Amino acid sequence: MLLVINLGSQLAHLIARRVRDLGVYSEIVPYDISAEKIKALKPKGIILSGGPSSVYEKNAPLIDNEIFNLGIPVLGICYGLQLIGKAFGKVENYQIKEYGKTSLKLKKNGKLLEKLSKDEQVWMSHGDAITNLDKDFEVLASTNSCKLAAIENHKKNIYGLQFHPEVVHTLKGTEIFRNFLFRICKAKKDFNISDMKEKLIKEIKETVGNNEVLMATSGGVDSTVAAVLVHHAIGRKLHCIFIDHGLIRKNEKEEVDAKYRKYFKFENYYSVDASAIFLKKLECISDPEEKRKIIGHTFIEVFEKHAKQLEKKHPKIKFLGQGTIYPDRIESAQPSKQASKIKSHHNLTLPEKMNLKVIEPLKDLYKDGVRKLGKELDIPKEILNRHPFPGPGLAIRILGDITKEKLEIVREADNIFIEELKKSGYYDKTWQALAALLPIKTVGVMGDARTYEYIITLRAVTSVDAMTADWAKLPDKLLGMISNRIVNEVKGVNRVVYDITQKPPATIEYE
Ligand code: XMP
Protein backbone atom coordinates (compact mmCIF):
# COMPACT_ATOMS: atom_id res chain seq x y z
CA MET A 1 0.00 0.00 0.00
CA LEU A 2 1.11 3.52 -0.79
CA LEU A 3 0.10 6.65 1.11
CA VAL A 4 -0.61 9.95 -0.59
CA ILE A 5 -0.49 12.87 1.81
CA ASN A 6 -3.07 15.39 0.67
CA LEU A 7 -1.74 18.92 0.43
CA GLY A 8 -4.11 20.10 -2.31
CA SER A 9 -7.17 17.84 -2.79
CA GLN A 10 -7.67 17.26 -6.55
CA LEU A 11 -3.97 16.73 -7.19
CA ALA A 12 -3.84 14.10 -4.48
CA HIS A 13 -6.70 12.22 -6.17
CA LEU A 14 -4.89 12.30 -9.47
CA ILE A 15 -1.74 10.86 -7.88
CA ALA A 16 -3.67 8.14 -6.01
CA ARG A 17 -5.34 7.08 -9.25
CA ARG A 18 -2.07 6.95 -11.18
CA VAL A 19 -0.63 4.69 -8.48
CA ARG A 20 -3.68 2.39 -8.59
CA ASP A 21 -3.50 2.31 -12.39
CA LEU A 22 -0.05 0.78 -11.94
CA GLY A 23 -1.56 -1.93 -9.74
CA VAL A 24 -0.56 -0.64 -6.31
CA TYR A 25 -3.27 0.11 -3.77
CA SER A 26 -3.12 3.73 -2.61
CA GLU A 27 -4.89 5.75 0.03
CA ILE A 28 -5.15 9.47 0.61
CA VAL A 29 -4.57 10.78 4.11
CA PRO A 30 -4.85 14.32 5.48
CA TYR A 31 -1.66 16.34 5.82
CA ASP A 32 -1.81 16.51 9.62
CA ILE A 33 -1.44 12.73 10.05
CA SER A 34 1.29 11.91 12.57
CA ALA A 35 4.45 9.99 11.70
CA GLU A 36 3.44 7.42 14.32
CA LYS A 37 0.14 6.77 12.62
CA ILE A 38 1.87 6.40 9.28
CA LYS A 39 4.28 3.90 10.77
CA ALA A 40 1.36 1.82 12.00
CA LEU A 41 -0.14 1.76 8.50
CA LYS A 42 3.11 0.25 7.15
CA PRO A 43 3.01 1.84 3.70
CA LYS A 44 5.67 0.88 1.15
CA GLY A 45 6.09 4.54 0.23
CA ILE A 46 4.76 8.02 0.84
CA ILE A 47 3.95 10.70 -1.74
CA LEU A 48 3.54 14.31 -0.69
CA SER A 49 1.11 15.85 -3.17
CA GLY A 50 1.27 19.27 -4.72
CA GLY A 51 -0.93 22.04 -3.44
CA PRO A 52 -1.78 25.67 -4.00
CA SER A 53 0.04 27.07 -0.96
CA SER A 54 3.49 28.50 -0.40
CA VAL A 55 5.37 26.92 2.54
CA TYR A 56 5.80 30.32 4.20
CA GLU A 57 2.15 31.36 3.96
CA LYS A 58 0.18 31.66 7.15
CA ASN A 59 -1.95 28.50 7.53
CA ALA A 60 0.06 26.63 4.89
CA PRO A 61 -0.41 22.88 5.44
CA LEU A 62 2.74 21.52 7.09
CA ILE A 63 3.57 17.89 7.79
CA ASP A 64 5.09 16.08 10.76
CA ASN A 65 8.80 16.16 9.81
CA GLU A 66 9.35 12.86 11.67
CA ILE A 67 7.88 11.33 8.50
CA PHE A 68 11.32 11.81 6.92
CA ASN A 69 12.92 9.64 9.64
CA LEU A 70 10.72 6.56 9.27
CA GLY A 71 12.96 4.93 6.68
CA ILE A 72 9.99 4.77 4.29
CA PRO A 73 10.73 6.25 0.83
CA VAL A 74 9.18 9.71 0.40
CA LEU A 75 8.48 11.44 -2.91
CA GLY A 76 7.57 15.13 -2.75
CA ILE A 77 5.79 16.64 -5.73
CA CYS A 78 5.75 20.42 -6.29
CA TYR A 79 4.51 21.80 -2.94
CA GLY A 80 5.57 18.43 -1.49
CA LEU A 81 9.10 19.14 -2.72
CA GLN A 82 8.98 22.58 -1.11
CA LEU A 83 8.26 20.85 2.20
CA ILE A 84 11.39 18.78 1.71
CA GLY A 85 13.23 22.01 0.96
CA LYS A 86 11.88 23.58 4.10
CA ALA A 87 13.02 20.62 6.21
CA PHE A 88 16.47 20.20 4.65
CA GLY A 89 17.36 23.58 3.17
CA LYS A 90 15.86 26.86 2.22
CA VAL A 91 12.86 27.84 0.09
CA GLU A 92 12.45 31.32 -1.31
CA ASN A 93 9.70 33.09 -3.10
CA TYR A 94 10.75 33.02 -6.69
CA GLN A 95 10.15 36.03 -8.86
CA ILE A 96 9.71 34.18 -12.14
CA LYS A 97 6.61 32.04 -11.87
CA GLU A 98 6.61 29.08 -14.19
CA TYR A 99 3.45 27.32 -15.38
CA GLY A 100 2.79 24.90 -18.19
CA LYS A 101 4.81 22.71 -20.51
CA THR A 102 8.56 22.98 -19.97
CA SER A 103 11.62 21.16 -21.13
CA LEU A 104 13.38 19.17 -18.41
CA LYS A 105 17.13 18.76 -18.87
CA LEU A 106 18.57 15.67 -17.19
CA LYS A 107 22.04 15.65 -15.62
CA LYS A 108 21.72 12.05 -14.52
CA ASN A 109 18.95 9.48 -14.24
CA GLY A 110 19.47 8.34 -10.68
CA LYS A 111 16.77 5.92 -9.53
CA LEU A 112 13.80 8.20 -9.97
CA LEU A 113 14.34 9.19 -13.59
CA GLU A 114 15.58 5.82 -14.86
CA LYS A 115 14.76 5.32 -18.57
CA LEU A 116 14.16 9.03 -19.23
CA SER A 117 16.16 10.78 -21.93
CA LYS A 118 18.29 13.90 -21.64
CA ASP A 119 15.42 16.20 -22.60
CA GLU A 120 11.82 15.53 -21.56
CA GLN A 121 8.56 17.48 -21.66
CA VAL A 122 7.13 18.07 -18.18
CA TRP A 123 4.30 20.13 -16.68
CA MET A 124 5.53 22.76 -14.28
CA SER A 125 3.73 24.98 -11.84
CA HIS A 126 5.60 26.86 -9.17
CA GLY A 127 6.12 30.21 -7.61
CA ASP A 128 8.67 29.23 -4.94
CA ALA A 129 12.06 27.62 -5.40
CA ILE A 130 14.49 25.71 -3.21
CA THR A 131 17.62 27.81 -3.10
CA ASN A 132 19.68 25.70 -0.75
CA LEU A 133 19.65 22.01 0.15
CA ASP A 134 21.72 19.65 2.32
CA LYS A 135 24.76 18.26 0.54
CA ASP A 136 23.62 14.66 0.49
CA PHE A 137 20.84 15.52 -1.98
CA GLU A 138 21.72 15.02 -5.64
CA VAL A 139 20.24 17.18 -8.38
CA LEU A 140 19.03 14.99 -11.24
CA ALA A 141 17.48 17.55 -13.55
CA SER A 142 16.72 21.24 -14.08
CA THR A 143 14.59 23.47 -16.26
CA ASN A 144 15.41 26.93 -17.57
CA SER A 145 14.04 28.66 -14.53
CA CYS A 146 14.34 25.92 -11.89
CA LYS A 147 17.67 24.47 -10.89
CA LEU A 148 16.31 21.79 -8.57
CA ALA A 149 13.56 20.27 -10.71
CA ALA A 150 14.32 16.67 -9.67
CA ILE A 151 16.34 15.58 -6.65
CA GLU A 152 17.11 12.42 -4.74
CA ASN A 153 18.82 11.38 -1.55
CA HIS A 154 19.57 7.67 -1.27
CA LYS A 155 20.78 7.86 2.29
CA LYS A 156 17.60 9.46 3.59
CA ASN A 157 15.40 7.76 0.98
CA ILE A 158 13.86 11.08 -0.06
CA TYR A 159 12.98 12.06 -3.62
CA GLY A 160 11.44 15.19 -5.09
CA LEU A 161 10.05 16.71 -8.27
CA GLN A 162 9.18 20.33 -8.88
CA PHE A 163 7.00 19.38 -11.87
CA HIS A 164 3.83 17.27 -11.90
CA PRO A 165 4.32 13.65 -13.01
CA GLU A 166 0.60 12.97 -12.43
CA VAL A 167 -0.67 15.14 -15.28
CA VAL A 168 -0.73 13.84 -18.85
CA HIS A 169 1.40 16.73 -20.16
CA THR A 170 4.40 15.21 -18.34
CA LEU A 171 4.92 12.65 -21.04
CA LYS A 172 6.99 10.18 -18.99
CA GLY A 173 4.98 10.63 -15.79
CA THR A 174 3.98 6.96 -15.66
CA GLU A 175 7.61 5.90 -16.03
CA ILE A 176 8.57 8.10 -13.06
CA PHE A 177 5.79 6.63 -10.89
CA ARG A 178 6.88 3.14 -11.97
CA ASN A 179 10.46 3.92 -10.89
CA PHE A 180 9.30 5.22 -7.53
CA LEU A 181 6.87 2.38 -6.83
CA PHE A 182 8.83 -0.62 -8.04
CA ARG A 183 12.51 0.40 -8.01
CA ILE A 184 12.56 2.58 -4.95
CA CYS A 185 9.66 1.42 -2.76
CA LYS A 186 9.78 -2.22 -3.96
CA ALA A 187 5.98 -2.19 -3.93
CA LYS A 188 4.06 -5.24 -5.15
CA LYS A 189 1.16 -5.18 -7.56
CA ASP A 190 -1.62 -5.89 -5.10
CA PHE A 191 -4.54 -4.02 -6.65
CA ASN A 192 -6.63 -5.68 -9.31
CA ILE A 193 -10.34 -5.56 -9.78
CA SER A 194 -10.96 -9.27 -10.05
CA ASP A 195 -9.36 -9.96 -6.65
CA MET A 196 -11.13 -6.89 -5.32
CA LYS A 197 -14.51 -8.31 -6.37
CA GLU A 198 -13.91 -11.59 -4.56
CA LYS A 199 -12.58 -9.79 -1.50
CA LEU A 200 -15.58 -7.45 -1.33
CA ILE A 201 -18.08 -10.27 -1.76
CA LYS A 202 -16.40 -12.22 1.04
CA GLU A 203 -16.42 -9.18 3.30
CA ILE A 204 -20.10 -8.47 2.64
CA LYS A 205 -21.01 -12.10 3.40
CA GLU A 206 -19.05 -12.05 6.65
CA THR A 207 -20.40 -8.68 7.77
CA VAL A 208 -24.04 -9.45 7.01
CA GLY A 209 -24.04 -13.02 8.30
CA ASN A 210 -27.62 -14.21 8.78
CA ASN A 211 -29.03 -10.71 8.61
CA GLU A 212 -30.54 -8.84 5.66
CA VAL A 213 -29.69 -5.60 3.85
CA LEU A 214 -31.78 -2.70 2.60
CA MET A 215 -30.61 -0.48 -0.23
CA ALA A 216 -31.95 2.33 -2.37
CA THR A 217 -30.97 2.46 -6.02
CA SER A 218 -31.27 5.30 -8.49
CA GLY A 219 -30.43 3.08 -11.43
CA GLY A 220 -27.16 5.04 -11.86
CA VAL A 221 -23.65 3.60 -12.03
CA ASP A 222 -22.61 3.70 -8.37
CA SER A 223 -25.82 2.50 -6.78
CA THR A 224 -26.26 -0.23 -9.39
CA VAL A 225 -22.73 -1.58 -9.03
CA ALA A 226 -23.11 -1.50 -5.24
CA ALA A 227 -26.49 -3.26 -5.34
CA VAL A 228 -25.38 -5.93 -7.83
CA LEU A 229 -22.24 -6.59 -5.77
CA VAL A 230 -24.29 -7.02 -2.58
CA HIS A 231 -26.73 -9.22 -4.51
CA HIS A 232 -23.85 -11.44 -5.68
CA ALA A 233 -22.84 -11.82 -2.04
CA ILE A 234 -26.19 -12.39 -0.34
CA GLY A 235 -28.86 -12.90 -3.04
CA ARG A 236 -32.42 -12.76 -1.73
CA LYS A 237 -31.26 -11.32 1.60
CA LEU A 238 -30.96 -7.98 -0.23
CA HIS A 239 -34.02 -5.71 -0.39
CA CYS A 240 -33.62 -2.99 -3.00
CA ILE A 241 -35.93 0.02 -3.43
CA PHE A 242 -36.17 2.29 -6.46
CA ILE A 243 -38.10 5.49 -5.79
CA ASP A 244 -39.58 7.24 -8.81
CA HIS A 245 -39.85 10.88 -7.80
CA GLY A 246 -41.54 11.83 -11.06
CA LEU A 247 -38.50 13.83 -12.18
CA ILE A 248 -36.75 11.06 -14.08
CA ARG A 249 -36.24 10.66 -17.83
CA LYS A 250 -38.51 9.14 -20.42
CA ASN A 251 -39.02 5.38 -19.88
CA GLU A 252 -36.48 5.38 -17.05
CA LYS A 253 -38.68 3.61 -14.49
CA GLU A 254 -39.56 0.83 -16.92
CA GLU A 255 -35.91 0.40 -17.89
CA VAL A 256 -34.62 0.29 -14.31
CA ASP A 257 -37.39 -2.12 -13.28
CA ALA A 258 -36.62 -4.44 -16.19
CA LYS A 259 -32.87 -4.43 -15.47
CA TYR A 260 -33.26 -5.26 -11.79
CA ARG A 261 -36.06 -7.78 -12.13
CA LYS A 262 -35.25 -9.56 -15.37
CA TYR A 263 -31.57 -8.99 -16.03
CA PHE A 264 -30.04 -8.95 -12.54
CA LYS A 265 -32.83 -11.20 -11.23
CA PHE A 266 -33.25 -9.46 -7.87
CA GLU A 267 -35.75 -11.45 -5.82
CA ASN A 268 -36.65 -8.54 -3.56
CA TYR A 269 -36.83 -5.43 -5.71
CA TYR A 270 -39.47 -2.80 -5.02
CA SER A 271 -40.33 -0.03 -7.44
CA VAL A 272 -42.18 2.81 -5.72
CA ASP A 273 -44.10 5.43 -7.68
CA ALA A 274 -43.97 8.49 -5.44
CA SER A 275 -44.25 11.04 -8.25
CA ALA A 276 -47.58 12.48 -7.07
CA ILE A 277 -46.15 13.27 -3.61
CA PHE A 278 -43.05 14.99 -5.01
CA LEU A 279 -44.90 16.98 -7.67
CA LYS A 280 -47.47 18.19 -5.15
CA LYS A 281 -44.74 19.43 -2.80
CA LEU A 282 -42.91 21.15 -5.64
CA GLU A 283 -45.95 23.05 -6.87
CA CYS A 284 -45.16 26.77 -7.37
CA ILE A 285 -41.58 26.38 -6.07
CA SER A 286 -39.05 28.28 -8.23
CA ASP A 287 -35.98 28.63 -6.05
CA PRO A 288 -33.28 26.03 -6.94
CA GLU A 289 -32.09 25.46 -3.39
CA GLU A 290 -35.63 25.11 -2.12
CA LYS A 291 -36.36 22.56 -4.84
CA ARG A 292 -33.28 20.57 -3.81
CA LYS A 293 -34.25 20.68 -0.13
CA ILE A 294 -37.84 19.60 -0.76
CA ILE A 295 -36.71 16.73 -2.98
CA GLY A 296 -34.05 15.64 -0.48
CA HIS A 297 -36.41 15.66 2.50
CA THR A 298 -39.27 14.04 0.63
CA PHE A 299 -36.95 11.33 -0.62
CA ILE A 300 -35.94 10.51 2.92
CA GLU A 301 -39.55 10.54 4.12
CA VAL A 302 -40.69 8.18 1.37
CA PHE A 303 -37.69 5.92 1.85
CA GLU A 304 -38.18 5.78 5.62
CA LYS A 305 -41.84 4.90 5.25
CA HIS A 306 -41.09 2.00 2.94
CA ALA A 307 -38.10 0.93 4.98
CA LYS A 308 -40.24 0.71 8.11
CA GLN A 309 -42.82 -1.43 6.35
CA LEU A 310 -40.11 -3.72 5.06
CA GLU A 311 -38.38 -3.96 8.43
CA LYS A 312 -41.65 -5.04 10.01
CA LYS A 313 -42.05 -7.81 7.47
CA HIS A 314 -38.37 -8.73 7.47
CA PRO A 315 -37.03 -8.19 11.00
CA LYS A 316 -33.61 -9.47 9.95
CA ILE A 317 -32.94 -6.25 8.03
CA LYS A 318 -30.09 -4.79 10.04
CA PHE A 319 -27.95 -3.09 7.37
CA LEU A 320 -28.32 -0.17 5.02
CA GLY A 321 -26.20 -0.54 1.87
CA GLN A 322 -24.97 2.57 0.09
CA GLY A 323 -23.11 3.27 -3.15
CA THR A 324 -20.75 5.85 -1.64
CA ILE A 325 -17.48 5.99 -3.58
CA TYR A 326 -14.03 7.19 -2.54
CA PRO A 327 -14.27 10.83 -3.70
CA ASP A 328 -17.65 11.19 -1.91
CA ARG A 329 -16.12 10.58 1.49
CA ILE A 330 -12.58 11.86 1.11
CA GLU A 331 -13.74 15.48 1.58
CA SER A 332 -12.58 15.09 5.16
CA ALA A 333 -9.03 14.74 3.88
CA GLN A 334 -9.13 18.06 2.06
CA PRO A 335 -6.68 20.63 3.32
CA SER A 336 -9.21 23.41 3.02
CA LYS A 337 -12.57 23.10 4.65
CA GLN A 338 -13.53 26.55 3.48
CA ALA A 339 -14.50 25.66 -0.09
CA SER A 340 -17.61 27.71 -0.73
CA LYS A 341 -20.93 25.99 -1.05
CA ILE A 342 -22.12 26.45 -4.61
CA LYS A 343 -24.98 23.99 -4.67
CA SER A 344 -26.36 22.06 -1.74
CA HIS A 345 -25.32 18.44 -1.22
CA HIS A 346 -25.06 16.27 -4.30
CA ASN A 347 -25.55 12.92 -2.71
CA LEU A 348 -28.33 12.17 -0.33
CA THR A 349 -27.30 10.74 2.96
CA LEU A 350 -29.98 8.40 4.12
CA PRO A 351 -31.21 8.73 7.67
CA GLU A 352 -28.72 8.18 10.42
CA LYS A 353 -31.46 7.61 12.95
CA MET A 354 -32.72 4.53 11.11
CA ASN A 355 -30.84 2.28 13.46
CA LEU A 356 -29.34 0.30 10.62
CA LYS A 357 -25.62 -0.26 10.26
CA VAL A 358 -24.26 1.26 7.08
CA ILE A 359 -22.25 -0.81 4.61
CA GLU A 360 -20.49 0.96 1.75
CA PRO A 361 -18.73 -1.66 -0.36
CA LEU A 362 -17.44 0.84 -2.97
CA LYS A 363 -16.03 3.25 -0.44
CA ASP A 364 -12.41 2.77 -1.54
CA LEU A 365 -12.98 2.98 -5.29
CA TYR A 366 -12.80 5.75 -7.83
CA LYS A 367 -15.39 5.97 -10.59
CA ASP A 368 -13.18 4.16 -13.11
CA GLY A 369 -12.65 1.38 -10.56
CA VAL A 370 -16.42 1.20 -10.01
CA ARG A 371 -16.91 0.84 -13.77
CA LYS A 372 -14.27 -1.91 -13.98
CA LEU A 373 -15.88 -3.74 -11.08
CA GLY A 374 -19.26 -3.34 -12.81
CA LYS A 375 -17.80 -4.99 -15.90
CA GLU A 376 -16.56 -7.90 -13.79
CA LEU A 377 -20.10 -8.23 -12.47
CA ASP A 378 -21.52 -8.37 -16.03
CA ILE A 379 -23.39 -5.12 -15.70
CA PRO A 380 -24.31 -3.96 -19.21
CA LYS A 381 -22.19 -1.24 -20.82
CA GLU A 382 -25.17 1.07 -21.26
CA ILE A 383 -25.48 1.34 -17.47
CA LEU A 384 -21.76 1.62 -16.76
CA ASN A 385 -21.20 4.33 -19.37
CA ARG A 386 -24.29 6.33 -18.51
CA HIS A 387 -23.87 10.06 -18.18
CA PRO A 388 -24.28 11.37 -14.63
CA PHE A 389 -27.85 12.35 -13.81
CA PRO A 390 -28.48 14.59 -10.80
CA GLY A 391 -30.44 13.33 -7.79
CA PRO A 392 -33.10 16.09 -8.12
CA GLY A 393 -33.46 15.04 -11.75
CA LEU A 394 -35.37 17.17 -14.24
CA ALA A 395 -36.45 19.53 -11.45
CA ILE A 396 -33.17 21.44 -11.81
CA ARG A 397 -33.48 21.44 -15.60
CA ILE A 398 -36.81 23.25 -15.56
CA LEU A 399 -35.90 26.76 -14.55
CA GLY A 400 -38.53 28.24 -12.30
CA ASP A 401 -41.64 26.38 -11.21
CA ILE A 402 -42.35 22.82 -12.30
CA THR A 403 -45.54 21.78 -14.08
CA LYS A 404 -46.57 18.53 -15.74
CA GLU A 405 -46.52 20.28 -19.12
CA LYS A 406 -42.95 21.53 -18.65
CA LEU A 407 -41.81 18.11 -17.42
CA GLU A 408 -43.25 16.51 -20.52
CA ILE A 409 -41.44 19.03 -22.75
CA VAL A 410 -38.03 18.54 -21.11
CA ARG A 411 -38.44 14.78 -21.08
CA GLU A 412 -39.20 14.61 -24.79
CA ALA A 413 -36.44 17.07 -25.75
CA ASP A 414 -33.89 15.23 -23.58
CA ASN A 415 -34.91 11.94 -25.14
CA ILE A 416 -34.36 13.23 -28.68
CA PHE A 417 -31.02 14.82 -27.76
CA ILE A 418 -29.65 11.68 -26.09
CA GLU A 419 -31.02 9.39 -28.80
CA GLU A 420 -29.22 11.37 -31.51
CA LEU A 421 -26.01 11.60 -29.52
CA LYS A 422 -26.01 7.83 -29.12
CA LYS A 423 -26.75 7.26 -32.81
CA SER A 424 -23.93 9.57 -33.89
CA GLY A 425 -21.37 8.17 -31.42
CA TYR A 426 -21.13 11.48 -29.55
CA TYR A 427 -22.71 10.16 -26.35
CA ASP A 428 -19.54 8.32 -25.39
CA LYS A 429 -17.39 11.28 -26.40
CA THR A 430 -19.12 13.63 -23.97
CA TRP A 431 -19.13 13.63 -20.18
CA GLN A 432 -22.72 14.72 -19.91
CA ALA A 433 -25.48 16.08 -22.11
CA LEU A 434 -28.81 17.56 -21.16
CA ALA A 435 -31.79 19.57 -22.31
CA ALA A 436 -33.22 22.28 -20.05
CA LEU A 437 -36.30 24.43 -20.36
CA LEU A 438 -36.01 28.20 -20.20
CA PRO A 439 -39.24 29.53 -18.73
CA ILE A 440 -39.72 32.30 -21.23
CA LYS A 441 -41.68 32.27 -24.44
CA THR A 442 -40.58 33.72 -27.74
CA VAL A 443 -42.35 34.33 -31.03
CA GLY A 444 -41.89 31.99 -33.93
CA VAL A 445 -43.64 31.01 -37.12
CA MET A 446 -44.77 27.53 -38.08
CA GLY A 447 -46.47 27.04 -41.39
CA ASP A 448 -48.42 30.26 -41.71
CA ALA A 449 -49.17 30.65 -38.05
CA ARG A 450 -47.48 32.73 -35.40
CA THR A 451 -46.30 30.69 -32.40
CA TYR A 452 -45.42 31.75 -28.87
CA GLU A 453 -43.61 28.93 -27.12
CA TYR A 454 -40.76 27.94 -24.77
CA ILE A 455 -37.01 27.75 -25.50
CA ILE A 456 -35.05 24.53 -25.02
CA THR A 457 -31.38 24.93 -24.27
CA LEU A 458 -29.06 22.03 -25.02
CA ARG A 459 -25.85 21.55 -23.06
CA ALA A 460 -23.18 18.95 -23.77
CA VAL A 461 -19.83 19.07 -22.01
CA THR A 462 -16.50 17.33 -21.91
CA SER A 463 -14.86 16.91 -18.52
CA VAL A 464 -12.78 14.54 -16.41
CA ASP A 465 -14.32 15.04 -13.00
CA ALA A 466 -17.14 17.63 -13.39
CA MET A 467 -15.06 20.15 -11.41
CA THR A 468 -14.29 21.96 -14.64
CA ALA A 469 -15.92 21.39 -18.02
CA ASP A 470 -15.79 22.62 -21.57
CA TRP A 471 -18.71 22.77 -23.98
CA ALA A 472 -18.61 19.93 -26.46
CA LYS A 473 -17.83 20.91 -30.03
CA LEU A 474 -20.68 18.94 -31.59
CA PRO A 475 -20.89 19.05 -35.39
CA ASP A 476 -23.21 21.76 -36.82
CA LYS A 477 -25.07 19.18 -38.85
CA LEU A 478 -25.87 17.08 -35.80
CA LEU A 479 -26.99 20.13 -33.80
CA GLY A 480 -29.15 21.29 -36.71
CA MET A 481 -30.83 17.93 -36.99
CA ILE A 482 -31.49 17.72 -33.23
CA SER A 483 -32.93 21.25 -33.24
CA ASN A 484 -35.26 20.37 -36.15
CA ARG A 485 -36.43 17.23 -34.44
CA ILE A 486 -37.13 18.99 -31.15
CA VAL A 487 -39.08 21.86 -32.72
CA ASN A 488 -41.05 19.49 -34.94
CA GLU A 489 -41.71 16.74 -32.43
CA VAL A 490 -42.01 18.44 -29.05
CA LYS A 491 -45.21 20.38 -28.58
CA GLY A 492 -44.65 23.67 -26.78
CA VAL A 493 -41.14 24.47 -28.13
CA ASN A 494 -40.36 26.77 -31.04
CA ARG A 495 -36.69 27.58 -30.46
CA VAL A 496 -33.55 25.59 -29.54
CA VAL A 497 -30.24 27.09 -28.40
CA TYR A 498 -26.87 25.45 -27.73
CA ASP A 499 -24.94 26.49 -24.61
CA ILE A 500 -21.30 27.42 -25.31
CA THR A 501 -20.20 28.33 -21.77
CA GLN A 502 -17.36 26.69 -19.88
CA LYS A 503 -17.42 25.66 -16.22
CA PRO A 504 -16.32 27.86 -14.54
CA PRO A 505 -17.86 30.42 -14.83
CA ALA A 506 -21.09 28.48 -15.54
CA THR A 507 -21.96 25.16 -13.90
CA ILE A 508 -22.97 22.03 -15.81
CA GLU A 509 -26.58 22.04 -14.62
CA TYR A 510 -28.69 25.19 -14.85
CA GLU A 511 -29.76 25.36 -11.22
P1 XMP B 1 -22.65 21.36 -11.56
O2 XMP B 1 -23.99 21.78 -12.06
O3 XMP B 1 -22.41 21.73 -10.12
O4 XMP B 1 -22.65 19.78 -11.60
O5 XMP B 1 -21.53 21.80 -12.46
C6 XMP B 1 -21.54 18.95 -11.46
C7 XMP B 1 -22.00 17.51 -11.56
O8 XMP B 1 -22.84 17.18 -10.46
C9 XMP B 1 -24.14 16.84 -10.90
N10 XMP B 1 -25.10 17.47 -9.98
C11 XMP B 1 -25.80 16.82 -9.05
N12 XMP B 1 -25.83 15.51 -8.73
N13 XMP B 1 -27.43 15.97 -7.03
C14 XMP B 1 -26.67 15.09 -7.74
O15 XMP B 1 -26.75 13.88 -7.46
C16 XMP B 1 -27.43 17.31 -7.28
O17 XMP B 1 -28.13 18.07 -6.63
C18 XMP B 1 -26.58 17.74 -8.35
N19 XMP B 1 -26.31 18.97 -8.90
C20 XMP B 1 -25.40 18.77 -9.88
C21 XMP B 1 -24.25 17.37 -12.32
O22 XMP B 1 -25.20 16.65 -13.08
C23 XMP B 1 -22.84 17.24 -12.81
O24 XMP B 1 -22.56 15.92 -13.24
Secondary structure (DSSP) of 454-483 = EEEEEEEEE-SSSSSBEE----HHHHHHHH
Chosen domain end from 184, 201, 226: 184
Which of ligand 1's atoms lies nearest the C-alpha of 391?
15
Torsion of the alpha carbons at 129, 135, 139 and 142, rounded to the nearest 10: 30
Domain containing 438 equals: 398-498
- Give, for ligand 1, the residue of 289, 431, 462, 509 to mutate: max count of ligand atoms closer than 8 Å to Cβ: 509
Last residue of a domain, one of 384, 417, 441: 384
Average pLDDT, the chain: 92
Q: Is 78 a catalytic residue?
A: yes
Peptide bond into 30 cis (omega under 30): no
Segment 202-216 mean pLDDT: 97
* Per-residue pLDDT, 145: 85
User: What is the distance in A from the centroid of ligand 1 to the CA of 369?
Assistant: 20
Burial of 397 (0-12, 13-18, 19+ CB in 10 A): buried
Residues 177, 205: one domain?
no
Q: Any idea what the CATH number is for the domain that residue 457 is in?
A: 3.30.300.10
Is 508 within a domain?
Answer: no
Among left, alpha and beta (phi > 0; psi -120 to 50; other), residue 71 is: left
Helices (runs of H) and strands (runs of E) counted in the chain: 14, 18
* pLDDT attached to residue 465: 75
Is residue 372 situated within a structural domain? yes
Is residue 492 left, alpha or beta, with left meaning phi > 0 and alpha meaning psi from -120 to 50? left
Residues 251, 105 share a domain? no
- What CATH number is given to the structural domain containing 142? 3.40.50.880
Q: Greater confidence, 216 or 94? A: 216
Answer whether 233's CB lies under 8 Å from 205's CB. yes
**Among residues 13, 78, 146, 231, which one is catalytic?**
78
**Residue to mutate, 10, 223, 342, 346, ligand 1, most ligand atoms under 8 Å from C-beta:** 346
- Taking only the tens place, the pLDDT of each residue in 409-465 is 999 999 999 999 999 999 999 999 999 999 999 999 988 899 999 999 999 999 987
CA distance 89 to 130: 7
Give the angle subtended at the CA of 331 by the CAs of 327 and 332, to the nearest 5°. Answer: 130
Establish if 101 belongs to a structural domain: yes
Q: Is the pLDDT of residue 346 over 90?
A: no
Final residue before a domain boundary, out of 158, 184, 210: 184
Task: Report the C-alpha gap between 386 and 371 in whole angstroms.
Answer: 10
93 has pLDDT over 90: no
pLDDT digits (tens, 9 = 90+) for 4-55: 999 986 789 889 989 999 999 999 999 999 999 999 999 999 999 998 888 8
Of all residues in the chain, the percent with pLDDT exceeding 90 is: 80
Residue 166 among the catalytic residues: yes
* In a shared domain, residues 178 and 198: no
361 and 225 both lie in a single domain: yes
pLDDT tens per residue across span 111-157? 999 999 999 999 988 778 888 899 999 999 999 889 999 999 999 99
What was the pLDDT predicted at 335?
A: 43
Are both 171 and 197 inside the same structural domain? no
| Structural domain total, the chain | 3
Does the residue 390 lie in any domain?
Answer: no
Q: Compute and round to an integer the Cα radius of gyration of the chain.
A: 26
Ligand 1 surroundings by CB, under 6 angstroms:
292, 343, 346-347, 388, 390-392, 432, 466, 503, 507-509
Three-state DSSP state, 13: helix
Same domain (yes/no): 235, 151: no
